[in-house]
């Protein structure tokens, strides 16, 4: 059975793209066949994994408008993943999709055609709650919300959770919200902890463990065209490996996901 996980938050800069690239590479290193889907017209995922969006013949845009099959568009990455790339053309798919009946199901139908070839699909949602994110959430069976541990991180979380709940009611009753993933986490300050405790109280949202620490390795990795897993051993890569291990145990054996207690000693 193929697992499809969407990484969504309409806020930009919270590490959605970084999470898809790093978690995907960690899962691939654990012998999983991983497809990562770039659903953002900014194409940062595509670019950060060494493919120039300006030199790509066909992308997820062509798949969504029905002019290409997924299998003709995918690219390989140096981390052993398969990438369904994006280009700026995708910005136009949004308007086109709006005109179609069943528009929320377009990505799901496309991914179904390659499901037998993959164990896990990760979807990098754009920073909006528009029709592309609705396609991502409708195609997924679970969703993780990366949360940057800074003041006002909770702003917009309520709206995102309402969108998830609408998707569960209307287009995808099987969608499960796994929780918030703390990103850009600074263990040395109490501030990050206070932000997480606040979000978890306010929305009753599980906070997943381990938090992803802030480290410059991520910027170095995306500049190099590979994920952070390809870099020398570092705490950012270790955190994503631990999360990957947990997700696999959860999916394969039903082990509950560990949660993070901000005030645990």
State the Cα torsion 155-235-119-111 to the nearest 10°. Answer: 40
Q: Is 18 in the site for Mg ion (CB under 5 A)?
A: no
Q: Could you give the CA distance from residue 239 to residue 219 in angstroms, rounded to a whole number?
A: 16
Cis status of the peptide bond prior to 74, with omega within 30 of 0: no
Q: Among residues 3, 16, 61, 103, which is the contact residue for Mg ion, using CB under 5 A?
A: 16
* 81 lines the binding site for ligand ADP (CB under 6 A): no
Please identify, among the stretches 170-178, 193-201, 202-210, 218-226, the one whose residues bind ligand ADP according to the rule CB under 6 A: 218-226
Q: What is the dihedral of CA 14, 94, 134, 242, to 10 degrees?
A: -40
Structure token digits, residue 208: 């997943």
By beta-carbon proximity to ligand ADP, the closer residue of 112 and 186 is: 186
> How many Cβ atoms from other residues are within 10 Å of residue 116's Cβ?
8
Query: Which of 13, 156, 206, 225 touches ligand ADP (CB under 6 A)?
Result: 13
Q: Is 204 left (phi over 0), alpha (psi -120 to 50) or beta?
A: left
Going 166 to 172 to 174 to 178, the CA torsion angle's sign is: negative
Residues between 168 and 197 with contacts to ligand ADP, criterion CB under 6 A: 183-184
CA-CA distance, 108 to 106, in Å (whole number)?
6
Residue from 44, 60, 149, 160 binding ligand ADP (CB under 6 A): 44
Q: Which does 140 bind (CB under 5 to 8 A by kind): ligand ADP, Mg ion, none?
A: none
- Does position 218 interact with ligand ADP (CB under 6 A)? The reply is yes
* Binds 218: which of ligand ADP, Mg ion, none (CB < 5-8 Å by kind): ligand ADP
Which of ligand ADP, Mg ion, none sits in contact with 184, Cβ below 5 to 8 A by type? ligand ADP
Q: CA-based angle 25:31:36, to the nearest 5? A: 40
Position 140 contacts ligand ADP (CB under 6 A): no
CA distance 141 to 32: 17
- Applying CB under 5 A, the span of 43-51, 87-95, 109-117, 164-172 interacting with Mg ion comes to 43-51
Q: Residue numbers of the site for Mg ion (CB under 5 A)?
A: 16-17, 44
Q: Residue numbers of the site for ligand ADP (CB under 6 A)?
A: 12-18, 44, 127, 183-184, 212, 214-215, 218-219, 222, 236
């Amino acid at each position: 059975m193929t697992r499809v996980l969407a990484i969504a938050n309409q806020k930009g800069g919270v590490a959605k793209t970084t999470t898809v690239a790093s978690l995907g590479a960690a899962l691939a290193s654990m012998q999983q066949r991983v497809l990562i889907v770039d659903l953002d017209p900014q194409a940062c995922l595509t670019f950060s994994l060494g493919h120039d969006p300006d030199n790509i013949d066909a992308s997820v845009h062509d798949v969504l408008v029905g002019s290409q099959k997924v299998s003709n568009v995918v690219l390989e990455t140096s981390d052993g993943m398969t990438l369904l790339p994006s280009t700026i053309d995708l910005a136009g798919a949004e308007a086109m999709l709006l005109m179609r009946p069943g528009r929320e199901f377009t990505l799901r139908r496309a991914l179904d055609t390659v499901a037998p070839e993959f164990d896990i699909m990760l979807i990098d949602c754009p920073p909006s709650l528009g029709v592309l994110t609705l396609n991502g959430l409708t195609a997924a069976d679970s969703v993780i919300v990366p949360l940057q541990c800074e003041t006002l991180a909770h702003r917009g979380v309520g709206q995102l959770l309402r969108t998830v709940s609408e998707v569960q009611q209307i287009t995808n009753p099987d969608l499960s919200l796994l929780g918030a993933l703390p990103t850009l986490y600074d263990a040395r300050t109490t501030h990050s902890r206070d932000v997480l405790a606040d979000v978890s109280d306010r929305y009753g949202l599980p906070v997943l463990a381990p938090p992803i620490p802030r480290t410059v390795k991520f910027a170095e990795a995306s500049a190099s065209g590979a994920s952070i897993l390809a870099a020398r051993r570092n705490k950012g890569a270790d955190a994503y490996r631990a999360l990957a291990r947990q997700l696999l145990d959860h999916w394969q054996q039903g082990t509950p996901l560990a949660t993070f207690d901000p005030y645990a000693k």
